[in-house]
Chain A
Amino acid sequence: MPMMMLRLALPLVLASLMMMPRLREARAEEGGDAEADARSGGSRAIALVGGRLVTQAEAGTIEGTILVRDGRIEAVGEAVEIPEGAERIDVSGLTVTPGLIDARSVLWLPAATQRDGGNDGALDILDGVDPFAEDWHDVARSGVTAVAVQPSNSGRLGGRGAVLRVGPGGTVEDLTIKGDAFVQAALGVNNASGNSVLRYQQFEQLKRTLDGVKRYKEEWETYEKALAKYNEAKEKAEKEAKEKAEKEAEEKGEEDDESGDQPEPEKDESKEEDDDDEGSSGTRPRQDEDEEDDDEGETPAKEDEEESKEAEKDAKADGPPKEPERDETKEFLVKLLTGEVPLRIEVHREDDLNNAVALAKEFDLKLIVEGLSEPRSAREGLVKSRTPMVLGPILESGGRPSYRRDRDRSWPAGLPAEDSRWAIGTYGDRPSDSALLRAHAAAAVARGVPRDQVLRALTAGAAEVLGLADELGTIAEGKRADLVAFAGDPIDPSTAVALVLSGGEVVVRDEDATPAEDDLATVVDLDLPDRLPGRYVLQTRRLLNDDGTTGPGALLVVEGRIEASGEAVDAGDDIPVFDVGDATVTPGLLTAHSTLGQGRAVAESAGADAGFLRAVDAFDPTGRSVREMVRGGVLRAGFAPGSGNVIGGAVGAVRLGAVDPVVEPIIGMNLVLSEASRNLERFPVSLPGQYALIRQFLGTQDEADQDARRSLDYYLTGPAIDRLDATRRERAAALRDGRCGAFIEVGEATEVALALDLAEELGSCVALVGPGAIEEQADRVARLAGEGPGLVLVVRPMPPGPERSRRWASVCEAVEAGAGLLFSADDPEGLRLAAASMVAAGLPRAAAIRALAIANPADFDEPGSCWDAGSPADFVVWDDSPIDLSSRPLAVVVDGEIAP
């Protein structure tokens, strides 16, 4: 009985399954028009008019029009006819490039997917994509329209990677530009860095896996050959039998009518179906055989029986060849061996790279290599074979993993050759880190990779590496309409993005992004001697002025001090003049609040109130990060105590790279309301406790009560405690009277609110370091910025994302309302990137320059000025503006001499 029901039900199910696509079609037809119109990717054409088009194709860079229809580029050129009804978007003055491609991203991947890796190649990254994630907004706003994603490098052979779009999600299919784009592999990345045995083991294991795939492929090839042979033989036998039967029939006589011939095969088929239904499932070999079938031990025997019955002929003695076991993973990985899908392998060291190349040779693989921290001699082979490469991250934010630790300072300069196929990856930990792609690109330029090559790597180069040259990477007819209009140089991260089209759909449009007036080409050949004389004049066409602009000017330097400055300085004939041409000359950059990697040396661990300490007393002028700073053009710092204490001590102003570093030992007191100073092992561990301690330190209670305060909680003798306490009280008094400022480290909105409470109460300028969640109290911030002793925002770098967008916007508002602005970071690139991202978010370029290069830490609430006569001759010669991350210091001068 059940069989009967099944027989009835099955056709119904099948019928309904067949109907489904039709229903879907019908629905699509109904709502189609409206939907298509709603998405600009629909039939309505878009014309981008008047832009400078960096096509990355044969056409080169042209002025012209791009016509986009149905998500594709329909026409490009100087004379494109714009059809009626097309939406015109004016991009005059803007630079239009193909959408940028991040070749290593975690966009669309939830945290669990980001971590997931494997060793047998079974994963498909598309199974881990979250198509509803919102991070794409920030990535699109930076001009990136496509990202490559793959399983993590925690495994040797994770599985399939894909190229996804950056635009509204919905379904994984909508997002996928190319699935199965490559297979991820890694050698020498995990637990293997220093251990050659483990390294070799990984190589062997990967090789064994690939061997397994190869064996699998061969097994099936053998089987298919045998099967073909068997079928041929069977057919031949059948034919012979038929012929024989026909002959017999003919012999029987011709009076039989023809009706017998036609229905016969049909009858046979129906019979077969019946057989199936009657319980002998798996009696027929099927292509998509599943496990159930495998369990049937007697299958081959039955099969033979059936076969022989059907054929109505004696079976051959050996029967059909046995089918090898099917393995879906290996089935796919076979494509590696046939060259359909490339193996994308992460290798960092020369030996691993050689091993990867050996694997490629042995298994005839197409390779994409990434990592390449120390390729050494293996580089030549890569360049010669034009093996596609993915390079990144070029900027390291935070701790770098051990396998990237040996990278040269100038990496990846000198790695890709002019004709190399290569792309840049951001290798971020957070989905929106792909928004930093241009920052990585700019850093590559600053390290010496030619600008045009870098731009190519972001577009056409990346498309080629990912096997999408027909689809992405160039502005040409028929390509996917992924386009970006920049208000300036695309590589400069401070350039605003005016328009982004993703698959013909406008996903970003910023009418305020107006082209910068910056003239681009300023290639500088600096001709400065290694040792500068005691007196000289430095002349440039771009000397920084106090208002943040640049203009022609000269500096007279005498014995390490600036004697005079101006458009032309009056100096004797015997004084040598160095003309640096178009190079930009600025004072050393300022990191306004930093421990310069010396946080440990400048934090008291015995108690949370260390108001008697001064950070400058522990300043090490030769520390590693100090040297890094000097090399990167940062010559001034607000040197702060560590943030482990609520009252950390005094922040001092120091010159970096100078013999006599301390400028001002106390510019403000360091107060910490953020989580960093909460410590279970001593008071305080809570925010109310932190606040109470600060108020106790400040003694904002009435003066009469001062003596009632308990003394410091240190294991010292009475007189020592009294002395420290006196110092502490003196500092607190200075803070109350406005003789020095307060740097308050904050994060959460509640902490910002308490810091603003203190600011309202104090007679001193308060600097919010972070600057914390000021967006939650924008009104109060604006009010405080406009009145009183002043409010300064010390902006530290933040990863891209919606939080940063909101924070940067409120910083811009506060600055407009009158708040001071300073930048702070622990490395020069982070410092400049903070400024650049702020400019991209709408901060006037001059304001950013003033905060970065002109502001004076010793007097941080004043606007500051540069080139004061008598001040130390500390300056930096840049090949372009320091805000542009792709420019670099050509010469760093401290005390009138070139810094080593």
Chain B
Amino acid sequence: MRCCKIMLERFQDRRAGQGLPLPESSRTMSRSLHLRIRAWVAAAAPLVLLAVGPAAAAGDDGDVLIRAGSVVTVEGETFAPGAVLVSGGVIAGVGASIEAPEGAEVLDLGEGTTLLPGFVDVDLPGGVTGPSVEVTREITPRFNPLPAIDWSSRSFVEALAGGTTAGAFIPLSENVVPGMAPVVKTAGSRRVVEAEAALVVTVASDPASRNRSRTRPDSIYVRQPTNRMGVVAMLREALNRASRGAEPDLDTTLPVEADPYEPLRDVIQGRRSVLAISRTDYDILTVLRLAGEFGYAPIILGGQEAYKVAGPLAATGVPVVLGPLRINGPYGPERTELAWNTAGVLHEAGVAVALSGGDLLEQARFAARFGLPEEEALKAITIGPARVLGVADRLGSIAVGKAADLVALEGDPLEFTTPVRWVMVDGVVQFPRPKPSEED
């Protein structure tokens, strides 16, 4: 565990000395589900942003003023026309019109254009060298795909081209506790946003699908769990061991982790958020039940059948991150029954919804087309996922002090034919990619 910690610290060092605050959401999480979780549903006090931020006046070198037909701040009001001032990679001002400070570069997008905050994908596809899960043991809470991320991977370029500026890498669902999800940027020089944004657990049949009870006795394929019930049992046992401070179970935890249960204890104590991979209605209910037993606040990841249990989800205030859109037939190992308007149904019931799994803009367009209100569709790919990952203080909306991750679109963002003009990460336009001569 120690080595993992150091490993991660070293990544944090690369973030130019930024501290690593615990996710806002997890700090505010209540210990019991009987209480509503404030972080998710309670609307953050809308930031009324007046014309000019303090930094803008300084007119630093490298300031950029962006004017657009409309600026959708997502959390606050929409300015049409609007302007955003970027200074030092951070948003320094938002308003209907901002005077360009001296020496600032002015990007006038023109009429009809839209400026959005960069999209945040809870489940970024691809980009990891080798398997993104340590399947040799079932309880690997310290596992983190971060060291295996190929920063030059093409999947980052693809995500960026679609407007996604940040997201998390989810360890695969083949373990009962697959590990930690780090949040990273899709471009730029400081890529790691949050090394351990959330703990991922699996409450589905995936971990059992590989294990068989009748093969070589020394093979991992012979081990538990071999069924979904076993998955839940193992997760419960791990949480129990963690809460009573037991020695790690050598058969289920990694030999390199001295205290593998620490992240689980953090979860139980409400200091760390949990992403639970579940797809079917009964699995989702199991997630809620387990969370109730141990008193933590989960987030559903996948949730293809969440529309069937929208009531309980709303009652407990558990948000749902929907997996990638699959509209042709039953999906996944459990033959999940899909609905066209899962997102809309969940929203109507009062469940916070985020979309994930790539092609976020297309997913938001589909969700809006089938019933999710337009402004909610945009939130579901920006501030929604940012809150889920506990990075809403830095990402997810256009607000003073947040990172200047912006997407410029040629028109209505939810119109299927609207193209992306450029994507900015930390104040630098990264898509279309800068020419090598301009990079220097």
- Chain A residues within CB distance 8 Å of chain B: 675, 678, 680-689, 691-693, 695-696, 700-701, 705, 708-710, 713, 748-751, 754, 757, 776
Q: A751 vs B130: C-alpha distance in the bound complex, in angstroms?
A: 10
- With A675-B130, A709-B258 already in contact, 11 other A-B pairs whose C-beta atoms are closer than 8 Å: A681-B218, A683-B137, A683-B255, A684-B136, A688-B144, A688-B145, A691-B7, A692-B4, A701-B2, A710-B256, A750-B148
Q: A708 vs B2: C-alpha distance in the bound complex, in angstroms?
A: 10
User: Could you tell me if B7 and A680 are in contact, using CB atoms closer than 8 angstroms?
Assistant: no
Q: Does B19 contact A (CB under 8 A)?
A: no
Question: With A678-B130, A695-B3, A705-B2 in contact, is A688–B148 under 8 Å at CB?
Answer: yes
Question: With A680-B136, A681-B220, A683-B134 in contact, is A749–B152 under 8 Å at CB?
Answer: yes
Q: Which single residue of chain B is at the shortest CB-CB distance from A679?
A: B136
User: Could you tell me if A701 and B148 are in contact, using CB atoms closer than 8 angstroms?
Assistant: no
Of B143, B150, B219, B255, which one neighbours A686 at CB under 8 angstroms?
B143
Q: A700 vs B255: C-alpha distance in the bound complex, in angstroms?
A: 16
User: Could you tell me if A687 and B130 are in contact, using CB atoms closer than 8 angstroms?
Assistant: yes
User: Could you tell me if A751 and B134 are in contact, using CB atoms closer than 8 angstroms?
Assistant: no
Q: Does B434 contact A (CB under 8 A)?
A: no
Min CB distance B376 to A, Å, is 36
B255 — which chain A residues lie within 8 A by C-beta? 683, 710, 713
A683 — which chain B residues lie within 8 A by C-beta? 134, 136-137, 254-256
User: Could you tell me if B6 and A748 are in contact, using CB atoms closer than 8 angstroms?
Assistant: no
User: Could you tell me if B258 and A708 are in contact, using CB atoms closer than 8 angstroms?
Assistant: yes
User: Could you tell me if B6 and A700 are in contact, using CB atoms closer than 8 angstroms?
Assistant: yes
A695 — which chain B residues lie within 8 A by C-beta? 3, 6-7, 256
Min CB distance B9 to A, Å, is 11
Question: With A705-B2, A710-B258, A754-B147 in contact, is A685–B136 under 8 Å at CB?
Answer: yes
Q: A776 vs B152: C-alpha distance in the bound complex, in angstroms?
A: 8
Q: Does B131 contact A (CB under 8 A)?
A: yes
A750 — which chain B residues lie within 8 A by C-beta? 129, 147-151
Q: Does B157 contact A (CB under 8 A)?
A: no
A689 — which chain B residues lie within 8 A by C-beta? 134, 136, 143, 254, 256
User: Could you tell me if B129 and A687 are in contact, using CB atoms closer than 8 angstroms?
Assistant: yes
Q: Mark B145-163, 1 if CB is under 8 A from A, else 0.
A: 1111111100000000000
Chain A binding surface SS class: helix
Per the CB 8 Å criterion, the residue count for chain B at the interface is: 35
User: Could you tell me if B135 and A680 are in contact, using CB atoms closer than 8 angstroms?
Assistant: yes
User: Could you tell me if A700 and B143 are in contact, using CB atoms closer than 8 angstroms?
Assistant: no
Of B3, B133, B146, which one neighbours A701 at CB under 8 angstroms?
B3
A and B contact pairs by CB, cutoff 8 A, 17 listed: A678-B131, A681-B219, A684-B136, A686-B130, A686-B133, A686-B145, A688-B148, A689-B134, A689-B136, A692-B4, A692-B257, A701-B3, A708-B2, A713-B255, A749-B150, A750-B148, A750-B149
Q: A700 vs B129: C-alpha distance in the bound complex, in angstroms?
A: 24
Q: A749 vs B151: C-alpha distance in the bound complex, in angstroms?
A: 9
Of A675, A688, A709, A713, which one neighbours B146 at CB under 8 angstroms?
A688
User: Could you tell me if A701 and B6 are in contact, using CB atoms closer than 8 angstroms?
Assistant: yes
Q: Does B132 contact A (CB under 8 A)?
A: yes
A709 — which chain B residues lie within 8 A by C-beta? 258
Q: A573 vs B384: C-alpha distance in the bound complex, in angstroms?
A: 93
B147 — which chain A residues lie within 8 A by C-beta? 687-688, 691, 750, 754
- Chain B residues within CB distance 8 Å of chain A: 2-4, 6-7, 10, 128-137, 142-152, 218-220, 254-258
The 3 closest A-B pairs by CB, nearest first: A687-B148, A695-B3, A750-B129
Q: A624 vs B162: C-alpha distance in the bound complex, in angstroms?
A: 56
User: Could you tell me if A757 and B129 are in contact, using CB atoms closer than 8 angstroms?
Assistant: no
User: Could you tell me if A686 and B258 are in contact, using CB atoms closer than 8 angstroms?
Assistant: no
User: Could you tell me if A684 and B134 are in contact, using CB atoms closer than 8 angstroms?
Assistant: yes
User: Could you tell me if A748 and B129 are in contact, using CB atoms closer than 8 angstroms?
Assistant: yes
User: Could you tell me if B136 and A682 are in contact, using CB atoms closer than 8 angstroms?
Assistant: yes
Q: Which single residue of chain B is at the shortest CB-CB distance from A607?
A: B255
User: Could you tell me if B3 and A688 are in contact, using CB atoms closer than 8 angstroms?
Assistant: no
Question: With A688-B146, A754-B147 in contact, is A696–B3 under 8 Å at CB?
Answer: yes
Min CB distance A306 to B, Å, is 59
Q: A681 vs B137: C-alpha distance in the bound complex, in angstroms?
A: 10
Q: Which single residue of chain B is at the shortest CB-CB distance from A699?
A: B3
User: Could you tell me if A685 and B3 are in contact, using CB atoms closer than 8 angstroms?
Assistant: no
Q: A748 vs B150: C-alpha distance in the bound complex, in angstroms?
A: 9
Q: A202 vs B277: C-alpha distance in the bound complex, in angstroms?
A: 58
Min CB distance B58 to A, Å, is 33
Min CB distance A607 to B, Å, is 9
Min CB distance B341 to A, Å, is 37
Min CB distance A45 to B, Å, is 36
Q: A757 vs B136: C-alpha distance in the bound complex, in angstroms?
A: 25
Q: A695 vs B2: C-alpha distance in the bound complex, in angstroms?
A: 9
Min CB distance A644 to B, Å, is 15
User: Could you tell me if B10 and A757 are in contact, using CB atoms closer than 8 angstroms?
Assistant: yes
Q: Which of A680, A693, A757 counts the most chain B CB atoms within 10 A? A: A680
A687 — which chain B residues lie within 8 A by C-beta? 128-130, 147-148
Min CB distance B156 to A, Å, is 13
User: Could you tell me if B148 and A686 are in contact, using CB atoms closer than 8 angstroms?
Assistant: yes
Q: Which of B130, B131, B257 counts the most chain A CB atoms within 10 A? A: B130
Q: A696 vs B5: C-alpha distance in the bound complex, in angstroms?
A: 12
A751 — which chain B residues lie within 8 A by C-beta? 129
Q: A713 vs B256: C-alpha distance in the bound complex, in angstroms?
A: 10
Min CB distance A235 to B, Å, is 70
A684 — which chain B residues lie within 8 A by C-beta? 134, 136, 254
Q: Which single residue of chain B is at the shortest CB-CB distance from A747?
A: B129
Q: A751 vs B146: C-alpha distance in the bound complex, in angstroms?
A: 12
A748 — which chain B residues lie within 8 A by C-beta? 129, 150
Min CB distance B43 to A, Å, is 38
Q: Which single residue of chain B is at the shortest CB-CB distance from A678?
A: B130
Min CB distance B131 to A, Å, is 5
Min CB distance A744 to B, Å, is 14
Min CB distance B252 to A, Å, is 12
B136 — which chain A residues lie within 8 A by C-beta? 680-685, 689
Min CB distance A404 to B, Å, is 35
Q: A680 vs B221: C-alpha distance in the bound complex, in angstroms?
A: 9
User: Could you tell me if B220 and A700 are in contact, using CB atoms closer than 8 angstroms?
Assistant: no
A713 — which chain B residues lie within 8 A by C-beta? 255
Q: Which single residue of chain B is at the shortest CB-CB distance from A708?
A: B258
Q: A691 vs B148: C-alpha distance in the bound complex, in angstroms?
A: 9
Q: A604 vs B140: C-alpha distance in the bound complex, in angstroms?
A: 25
